[in-house]
Amino acid sequence: MNIAKRMRRLTPRKLFWNSVHYAVLTFASILVVAPLLIAFISSFKTPLEMLRGEKTDLPDNWNNLQNYADFLEGQPVGIAFYNTMFVILVSLFIVTMVGTMAAYVIDRFRFPGRRLILLLYVIVMAVPAITTQVSLYQVMLSLNLVNSKWALIVLYSGADIVSLYIFIVFLGSISREIDESARIEGASYFQIYWKIILPLMTPAISTVVILRTIHMYNDFILPYLYTPRADQSTVSMLLFKASGMMSSSTEAILMAGIVIVIAPTLIAFFVLQRQIVSGMMRGAVKG
Amino acid sequence: MFAATAQNQRRMVIIGFLVVPLTLLTVFSLYPFAQLVYYSMTDWNGLSPTKNFVGLDNYERIFFEDQELLRPLINSLYYFIGSLMQLALATYFAVILNRGLPGSNVYRMLLFMPFVLNSVAVSIIFRDFLQIEGGLDALMVLIGLGAYTREWVQDPDIVKWSLVFASVWRYLGFQLLITYGALQAVPQDQYEAARIEGASEWQQFRYITFPTIAPILGLQIILSTVGSLEVFDVPFLITGGANGTKTIIMATLQEAFEFRRVGLAAAMAVILLCFVMLVMIIQRAVFDRGGTK
């Protein structure tokens, strides 16, 4: 329907309601953006400006990058980003390989114990991970994984049932005809997985990659419990530790650190918004 | 002969592809779960080599002797109320954004944005925003509401709602997106027909939109209930649990890692887990009924 046609139907009453809707939307958007914007503005302010002016005042000098320099110098930023990337990439690789393999076997084969395995996954999915940390911590201690970034990797990939669920549901929607005919032509089961199933699962894999990357980059509880030491930790702990060290006089430096951590997400978000939104909608319905 | 090797190959693929995920499942999910239940019946402190089996003593203590322990559960109520308001708001936004008003995409993106941001970053930003003479106060002064500023975090009557606000800020966009997704399933020609019949916007919502998205809204209420029992990040990072804002997860972790009462903490976790399970079972019951209706 074109806009001219639409405009003609705009009665005064409708016009009124549309203005109300716009006003509410704009108000909400301002509330969403304001805290972020104020943090961004603060990251360019000098200590004196922070002390004297209102939070909403603009900085005198937008080229004042001293806070950024101070944060980069005083905090282990490089190692935190390196650890975060390392944890994300290794976990994504494990989740994708292990998850698609398991989904392939569970969806395509009928074997004794299959129903039991499915039942176990359903039970585990219903148990919120956050409640079992008390005992999981002891397991991690005995495996000597506390204070190692491998703790994060095994937990992000090993205790991730939702991704497996997404893979199984997706594979269930793909017809078996292709792998059955490949079977008749003499392909081994492994070849079928590697050459047919894995490529076909690309959409599900990209959903999982998006959901898991956002989760891992933003998660706080696991790094807080398992990698309290800075040299093994992620950007969440970088900010957490920095915020514990800073006082009100160094608030602007902390804001610079926050901008450094948030900026990559925001850039990725605006570049990939279509994929992220559809990935979220697809992944979220599973609950 | 050929059949036998095919059988072998099949077995190898099944075992080979499942051995890693099942090991991970056992070590990092099933075993800790069993251990949690076991710990909850001991007096273990997390360090000592001996744990004494004490039966249901920990549970007795939580329910009958030391009722302070479950007190943080009350705070979940605030988050639950907050999440209901959040759902109403999210539904309203989703419905008006779904009409395709010019600029809808921009608004949808902006409202969803907080959800993809780092927990710690967002919490620190809010800690500053809600400070005395912080960003919120400055904004209120700017629009002439300076007289209504409060001690958002220091005042015990207000702080819980401030934290709920921070949490709504963070998760509203996510619910908006899910509801928006559900709205795509509503056939557009029904609206067209309703408009020709002269149905008002409210009538269109009441008789066309609402029935279609009701199941998703129901599911979101259930998820919110579970979510409000599991709140941790935002209040922990903003107030550290001070001023009566401790949540049950915070209390449990504190018992286990700070006060070294692992047995007691495990019992609290098991109780929380039972609550969550109960909510899930109710969800199942409600949804199955909805399905056969």
- Per-residue pLDDT of A126-148, as tens digits, reads 888 888 999 999 999 999 999 99
A140 and A222 both lie in a single domain: yes
- Per-residue pLDDT of A192-217, as tens digits, reads 999 999 999 999 999 899 989 999 99
A11 and A142 both lie in a single domain: no
A175 and A239 both lie in a single domain: yes
Taking an 8 Å cut-off on Cβ atoms, the answer to whether A214 and B233 are in contact is: no
Q: Work out the average pLDDT over A88-113.
A: 95
In a domain? residue A279: no
Q: Please give the pLDDT value at position B271.
A: 92
A61 and A85 both lie in a single domain: no
Taking an 8 Å cut-off on Cβ atoms, the answer to whether B36 and A36 are in contact is: no
Contact residues on chain A for B27, CB-CB shorter than 8 A: 139, 143, 158
Taking an 8 Å cut-off on Cβ atoms, the answer to whether A21 and B29 are in contact is: no
Contact residues on chain B for A243, CB-CB shorter than 8 A: 120, 124
Does the pLDDT of residue B290 top 80, yes or no? Answer: no
In a domain? residue A152: yes
A223 and A117 both lie in a single domain: yes
What is the ipTM metric for this complex? 0.89
| CATH number of the domain that residue A229 is part of | 1.10.3720.10
Contact residues on chain A for B24, CB-CB shorter than 8 A: 98, 154, 157-159
What band does A39 get if pLDDT is binned at 50, 70 and 90?
very high
- Per-residue pLDDT of B89-124, as tens digits, reads 999 999 888 887 888 889 999 999 999 999 999 999
- Per-residue pLDDT of B181-235, as tens digits, reads 888 878 878 888 888 888 887 888 888 888 888 888 888 888 888 888 889 988 9
Q: Please give the pLDDT value at position B293.
A: 32
- Give residue limits of the domains in chain B: 2-65, 73-118+158-246
What band does A239 get if pLDDT is binned at 50, 70 and 90?
very high
Q: In this structure, what token pair is assigned to residue A20?
A: 């109300």
In a domain? residue A263: no
- Per-residue pLDDT of B249-278, as tens digits, reads 999 999 898 888 999 999 999 999 998 888
Contact residues on chain A for B9, CB-CB shorter than 8 A: 188-189
Query: Which of A55, A70, A85 lies at the terminal end of a domain, its last residue?
Result: A70
Query: Rounded to an integer, what distance in angstroms lies between the CA atom of residue A112 and that of residue A122?
Result: 18
Query: Rounded to an integer, what distance in angstroms lies between the CA atom of residue B188 and that of residue B207?
Result: 13
- Residue A126: closest C-alpha in chain B: B277
Query: Which of A46, A70, A94 lies at the terminal end of a domain, its last residue?
Result: A70
Q: The whole model's pTM is what?
A: 0.89
A35 and A160 both lie in a single domain: no
A206 and A222 both lie in a single domain: yes
Contact residues on chain A for B91, CB-CB shorter than 8 A: none
What band does A287 get if pLDDT is binned at 50, 70 and 90?
very low
In a domain? residue A200: yes
- Out of A276-285, B236-245, B249-258, give the one with best mean pLDDT: B249-258
- Residue A270: closest C-alpha in chain B: B109
Does the pLDDT of residue B291 top 50, yes or no? Answer: no
A16 and A60 both lie in a single domain: yes
Cα distances from A223 to residues A43, A184, A241, B241, in angstroms, run 25, 49, 11, 19
Q: Please give the pLDDT value at position B33.
A: 92
A182 touches chain B (CB under 8 A): no
A157 touches chain B (CB under 8 A): yes
Q: Please give the pLDDT value at position B39.
A: 93
Taking an 8 Å cut-off on Cβ atoms, the answer to whether A135 and B35 are in contact is: yes
Q: How many angstroms separate the CA of residue B156 from the nearest CA in chain A?
A: 22
| Cα-based torsion angle of the residue sequence B190, B193, B198, B204 in order, rounded to the nearest 10 degrees | 0
Does the pLDDT of residue A93 top 90, yes or no? Answer: yes
What band does B22 get if pLDDT is binned at 50, 70 and 90?
very high
| Cα-based torsion angle of the residue sequence A112, A116, A119, A121 in order, rounded to the nearest 10 degrees | -90
Query: Rounded to an integer, what distance in angstroms lies between the CA atom of residue A234 and that of residue B121?
Result: 13
Contact residues on chain B for A139, CB-CB shorter than 8 A: 27-28, 31-32, 35
Taking an 8 Å cut-off on Cβ atoms, the answer to whether A240 and B36 are in contact is: no
Domain range B73-118+158-246, CATH architecture: Orthogonal Bundle (1.10)
How many residues are recorded in chain B?
293
What band does A81 get if pLDDT is binned at 50, 70 and 90?
very high
Q: Work out the average pLDDT over A43-70.
A: 85
Q: Please give the pLDDT value at position A259.
A: 96
Q: How many angstroms separate the CA of residue B278 from the nearest CA in chain A?
A: 10
In a domain? residue A266: no
Contact residues on chain B for A284, CB-CB shorter than 8 A: 174, 177-178, 181
A114 and A174 both lie in a single domain: yes
**Residue range(s) defining the domain that contains residue A178:** 77-245
A182 and A61 both lie in a single domain: no
Q: Please give the pLDDT value at position B19.
A: 94
Q: Please give the pLDDT value at position B144.
A: 85
Express as a percent the part of chain B with pLDDT over 90: 34
- Per-residue pLDDT of A225-238, as tens digits, reads 999 988 889 999 99
In chain B, which residue ranges form alpha helices assigned H by DSSP?
Answer: 2-25, 31-39, 57-60, 73-98, 104-112, 119-129, 135-142, 156-183, 188-196, 201-204, 210-229, 233-238, 248-253, 262-292
Does the pLDDT of residue B4 top 70, yes or no? Answer: no
In a domain? residue A284: no
A243 touches chain B (CB under 8 A): yes
- Residue B284: closest C-alpha in chain A: A126
Taking an 8 Å cut-off on Cβ atoms, the answer to whether B113 and A21 are in contact is: no
Scored b (16 or more CB within 10 A) or e, A204-218 reads: bbebbbbbbbbbbbb
Q: Work out the average pLDDT over A241-269.
A: 90
A43 and A92 both lie in a single domain: no
DSSP B153-173: TT-HHHHHHHHHHHHHHHHHH
In a domain? residue A41: yes
A168 and A64 both lie in a single domain: no
Of B110, B129, B133, the CB nearest to A38: B129
Taking an 8 Å cut-off on Cβ atoms, the answer to whether B256 and A137 are in contact is: yes
- How many distinct structural domains can be found in chain A? 2
A35 touches chain B (CB under 8 A): yes
Q: Please give the pLDDT value at position A61.
A: 82
